[in-house]
Amino acid sequence: MVIGVDNTILNVALPSIVRELGAQGSQLQWIIDAYTIVFAGLLLTAGSLGDRFGRKGALTFGLVLFGAFSALASQAGSATMLMVCRGLMGIGGAFIFPTTLSILTNVFTGRERARAIGVWAGVSGLGIVVGPLGGGLLLEHFSWGSVFLVNVPLCTLAIVLGRFLIPDSRDPEEGKLDPVGALLSIATLMTLLYGIIEGPDLGWTDPKVVGALGAGLVLMALFGTWELHTAHPMLDVRIFANPRFSAASGAITLTFFALFGSTFLLTQYFQFVLGYSPLKAGMLTAPVAVGIMACAPLAPRVVDRFGTKRVVTGGLLIVASALAAYCSDTLMSSPLLGGLVRIVFGAGMGFTTAPATESIMGSLPPGKAGVGSAVNDTTRQTGGALGVAVIGSVFASRYHRAVDATGAVKAVPAGVRAAVRDSIGKALEAARQLPPAEARIAVAVARHAYIVAMRLAYGIGSGVVVTAAFIAWRYLPARAPAEVTPGDLNLTDAVALVTDS
């Protein structure tokens, strides 16, 4: 829940950060992605360390770091300092997330594990509810720093409860660490995302952008080659030959691509375009989590009846349909209709993530649960980072073109035109310094450009999720292989099993 809160509470605070720290559009993306890049890059290493030295200790270590750097972030005096603090928080998050799921995998087996993972996904959804609502409430009474400071009591409570309730476990077959693989994975993500985020501002043919994207692809190839040939790989890439594992990973990656990218735009739409307060924006974002919380725990029962392939594919198509509806300003500006669309979006995610996660964890032996959980979490965070970067970049490019194509923007001073073209947040700030007539023009141009760009970005996001549905239908097995535990066997089955062996 701590991770879920942090991933969503910041989106509500973005407009306040623009006003108080003067953050630009690309800086907002980096404030989110600085955390995500470090988080995703370290997940595999953190999962391996948890398997090797004990998962309970890794979880406690992560909570301590996360709480400490959250307190530091709350006191940031600039957008750059906040980006650095967010990156440091990613170190703690990398030790928290994979250990939670690997602990569950070692405590539960069979159908109990599927139900536990469903509850795990539902509690993650609870964090997505608490984040925007709590963030909106805090911002009504306190500064933007309060959205980070709230992590301190949450982490403290988790440490105390974990001390008494969580059993420890580790991999009985300890292997060596893979620092080269960890460095390559971090470098790959950083260079690729830098190129994607800066492309709209610098231009896609700018040497920095082309160089970053090219270096990212080279590093990705080096990472894959290293992991194939090293004696102790951080990630044995041969496990992706298992269609159950790879298709489920792909489905989760693209689902969180859609979730993070859509949420990044939606919270700004509520506050900048519709003029809602942070609290109201948080309330209107929460229905997504309600859908996740309601459907993720139910997903294992639905899978028992219809099979993993049908449930995951159906969930992805629901998400794609909801994203297509996000393109409509008429629907999304209505609290009732927009709320229903967001509940449907969350329901599709609940029916997708719980069985896909169980497929990933069920493909690996319990001793490798930390690495398996890290892969699951890496796909989520990498998908989320790419969602913010790609959807945000597509949006920014279209926003710039829409502003340039609007003749009315020439009626405002040149300095204000630059602010309007940068982002809607900057446009609203600049408009406050203008006479009323010119201010109305600047605001109207920015809001029109935002809606035009939002339609394109959500349309592309919907197409990405349809692609994920095709992958799941084509490659995900209809049902998971039966997992036999001693309690499930009667005498006849046991004799047959031994005879077959």
Local confidence band at 500 (pLDDT 50, 70, 90 cut-offs): very low
Rounded to an integer, what distance in angstroms lies between the CA atom of residue 105 and that of residue 276? Answer: 42
Which residue has better confidence, 484 or 361? Answer: 361
Phi, psi of 142, deg, nearest 5: -130, 175
b/e map 107-128, b = 16+ CB within 10 Å: eebeeebbbbbbebbbbbbbbb
Residue 394 has what pLDDT? Answer: 85
Local confidence band at 200 (pLDDT 50, 70, 90 cut-offs): low
The residues spanned by each domain of the chain are 2-167+234-407+444-480
**DSSP assignment string, 375-407:** HHHHHHHHHHHHHHHHHHHHHHHHHHHHHHT-G
Local confidence band at 497 (pLDDT 50, 70, 90 cut-offs): very low
131's tokens: 């984040």
Rounded to an integer, what distance in angstroms lies between the CA atom of residue 476 and that of residue 440? Answer: 52
- Which among 75, 74, 94 is positioned nearest to 10, based on CA atoms? 74
- Region of poorest pLDDT, from 115-129, 218-232, 362-376, 463-477: 362-376
Give tens-digit pLDDT for 347-369. Answer: 998 898 888 887 777 766 666 66
AA identity, residue 54: G
Rounded to an integer, what distance in angstroms lies between the CA atom of residue 208 and that of residue 16? Answer: 30
Phi, psi of 109, deg, nearest 5: -135, 165
Residue 232 has what pLDDT? Answer: 76
Give tens-digit pLDDT for 66-89. Answer: 999 999 998 888 888 998 999 899
Give tens-digit pLDDT for 301-322. Answer: 888 888 888 999 999 999 999 9
Local confidence band at 371 (pLDDT 50, 70, 90 cut-offs): low
Local confidence band at 487 (pLDDT 50, 70, 90 cut-offs): very low
Which residue has better confidence, 103 or 22? Answer: 103
Local confidence band at 496 (pLDDT 50, 70, 90 cut-offs): very low
Which residue has better confidence, 61 or 129? Answer: 61
Q: Check whether 279 has a pLDDT greater than 50.
A: yes
Give tens-digit pLDDT for 235-273. Answer: 777 777 788 888 888 888 888 888 778 877 887 888 888
Average pLDDT over every residue of 225-237: 82
User: Residue 486: in which H helix or E strand, if any?
Assistant: none
Residue 255 has what pLDDT? Answer: 82
Those residues whose C-beta lies under 8 Å from the C-beta of residue 164, and which sit 6 or more positions away, are none
**Listed ranges 5-19, 231-245, 459-473; the one with the highest mean pLDDT:** 459-473
Residue 485 has what pLDDT? Answer: 40
Give tens-digit pLDDT for 404-419. Answer: 888 777 777 777 778 8
Question: pTM score, two decimals?
Answer: 0.74
Rounded to an integer, what distance in angstroms lies between the CA atom of residue 232 and that of residue 175? Answer: 7
Residue 367 has what pLDDT? Answer: 61
Local confidence band at 337 (pLDDT 50, 70, 90 cut-offs): very high
CATH 1.20.1250.20 at 2-167+234-407+444-480, yes or no: yes
Give tens-digit pLDDT for 282-301. Answer: 778 778 878 888 888 888 88
Residue 88 has what pLDDT? Answer: 92
